[in-house]
Amino acid sequence: MTLLLKNAIYLDWESLALIPGDIAVEQGPRGGISFDLPPQAPERVIDCRGKLVTKSFGCGHHHIYSTLARGMPAPRRIPTSFSEILEYIWWHIDKRLDLEMITASALASAIYCAKNGVTFIIDHHASPFAVEGSLNAIAEAFERVGLGYLLCYEISDRDGEGPREAGLAETDAYLAGGRPGHVGLHASFTVGDPLLDSAAALACKHNTGIHIHVAEDRADQEDARAKYGLGVVERLEAHGVLALEKTILAHCIHLSDRERQMVSQSGVWVVQNVESNLNNNVGTTGYADLGERVMLGTDGMHSDMLRSAKAAFLNGQATEGVGFDAVYRRFRNVHRHILQCGAPGDSANNLVILDYDTPTEVTSDNFPGHFVFGLDARHVESVIAQGRLIVENRRVITVAEAEVMAYAREMGRKLWEKL
Ligand SMILES: [Zn+2]
């Protein structure tokens, strides 16, 4: 099936060239677009007069498992440190998740992403007592909504041998099944040397990288120095993780100068999640010296990548004096990572139709200024993923939104009763 977007103004996401005209959109996970009329009559024509059409967005680090936490009862104790936030909130929740709750979380997150123009999610999942089948459940939910993905299970030693071995087995089975992803690890302070070696070997076996939280809080560095006499990045390097170029290091806040240099000189990817860092009060950092492979994520806080880009810009004024162009580049680097991983679902036929009501002219030169100060999620009118219309006039049309949200609320109640 082909879609034809009539009278659009196409913004090329790389060159920022503005091309007025009609866009023919091919369907399929690796489909393209063309500015010539398709040979057969299109099956659907959308009038885009006055609208900006550009590549849709991707999230470099998400946690769909956190979806049912919104509005949950207060923890038994108010956390006073990052390790207590994990212990009393996130680890308390993820241990109580079952496959139904995971499916509800994935569907609801996918709807939020789609409505915000995000058609590809790189997720980091945890459910230590519902590990088996969890990644395929998330993949199927994302496919129902129409999103592309790279998934992983965050394996760790924190809950002992059972969940650790289940995490390795789930990762191996999921990747062997042919769906795309990484080998997930929680963080250095919850991963012993034998597990780190097993995970690196598994990533080599499946020709992928490790996806891990790195020095999010100072305590991660203190733990690595006390136990291994190394910084977190030095430890990862010693176990071969930096040699895997599809590796994603989330956060990288408390690195030494030497470690910052190691990251920038390696081929690995870094994800900045500034709103989550502010929420957890773990500190923030600049990313300009960490190389060209810096992406943006939400860390499960929300599913709005335009919001993440604005936060990176605002916080980046204090930490690194970041410019519009650099933030835009980081926002778009996720596509370069997905391409390197060879994952389907992010080719040229992933598009957002933006009803951008600007009081000033948009040009190729000034677009990054509009990106930071003007454009936001409310401008996302319709979304095309893999050549298929998935959001039309701000409503998801691939699944019944109201039914999914009712199911999510039911699963939320089930989860909260167990907390
Ligand atoms: Zn995270």
310 band by pLDDT with thresholds 50, 70 and 90:
very high
* pLDDT at 2 (0 to 100): 84
* pLDDT at 1 (0 to 100): 63
Side-chain-side CA neighbours of 358 within 13 Å: the count stands at 19
Give the Å distance between the CA of 283 and the centre of ligand 1.
Answer: 15
Give the Å distance between the CA of 317 and the centre of ligand 1.
Answer: 23
The per-residue pLDDT of the chain, averaged, comes to 97
Give the Å distance between the CA of 182 and the centre of ligand 1.
Answer: 14
CA distance 407 to 409: 5
- pLDDT tens sequence across 192-225: 999 999 999 999 999 999 999 999 999 999 999 9
96 band by pLDDT with thresholds 50, 70 and 90:
very high
Give the Å distance between the CA of 123 and the centre of ligand 1.
Answer: 9
HEC string for 177-215: CCCCECEEEEEHHHCCHHHHHHHHHHHHHCCCCEEEEEC
* The residue to which tokens 């893999």 are assigned: 386
CA distance 302 to 415: 19
Angle at Cα 295 formed by Cα 125 and Cα 94, nearest 5°? 15
* pLDDT at 41 (0 to 100): 83
Question: Region 59-71: what's the mean pLDDT?
Answer: 97
* pLDDT at 157 (0 to 100): 98
Nearest C-alpha neighbor of 300 from the set 136, 108, 147 = 108
pTM of the predicted protein model: 0.98
CA distance 323 to 55: 21
Give the Å distance between the CA of 83 and the centre of ligand 1.
Answer: 14
Give the Å distance between the CA of 301 and the centre of ligand 1.
Answer: 9
Helix (H, G, I), strand (E, B) or coil at 81: coil
Give the Å distance between the CA of 217 and the centre of ligand 1.
Answer: 12
- pLDDT tens sequence across 236-267: 999 999 999 999 999 999 999 999 999 999 99
Sign of CA dihedral 46, 50, 55, 59: negative
CA distance 268 to 292: 10
Question: Under a CB-based contact definition with an 8 Å cutoff, are residues 91 and 158 in contact?
Answer: yes
Lowest mean pLDDT among 31-40, 87-96, 137-146, 340-349: 31-40
Give the Å distance between the CA of 63 and the centre of ligand 1.
Answer: 6
Give the Å distance between the CA of 146 and the centre of ligand 1.
Answer: 23
Nearest C-alpha neighbor of 305 from the set 371, 246, 404, 250 = 371
CA 161 vs. chain centroid, Å, equals: 28
* pLDDT at 42 (0 to 100): 86
Give the Å distance between the CA of 257 and the centre of ligand 1.
Answer: 23
- pLDDT tens sequence across 23-54: 999 999 999 999 987 777 888 999 999 999 99
Q: Both ends of the chain: CA-CA distance in Å? A: 47
Question: Under a CB-based contact definition with an 8 Å cutoff, are residues 143 and 105 in contact?
Answer: no
Nearest C-alpha neighbor of 129 from the set 97, 91, 160 = 97
- How many other C-beta atoms can be found within 10 angstroms of the C-beta atom of residue 177? 11
For residue 304, the one-letter residue type is: D
* pLDDT at 37 (0 to 100): 76
Give the Å distance between the CA of 40 and the centre of ligand 1.
Answer: 46
- pLDDT tens sequence across 153-193: 999 999 999 999 999 999 999 999 999 999 999 999 999 99
Burial classification of residue 165, based on how many CB atoms lie within 10 Å of its CB (0-12 exposed, 13-18 middle, 19 or more buried): middle
Give the Å distance between the CA of 37 and the centre of ligand 1.
Answer: 44
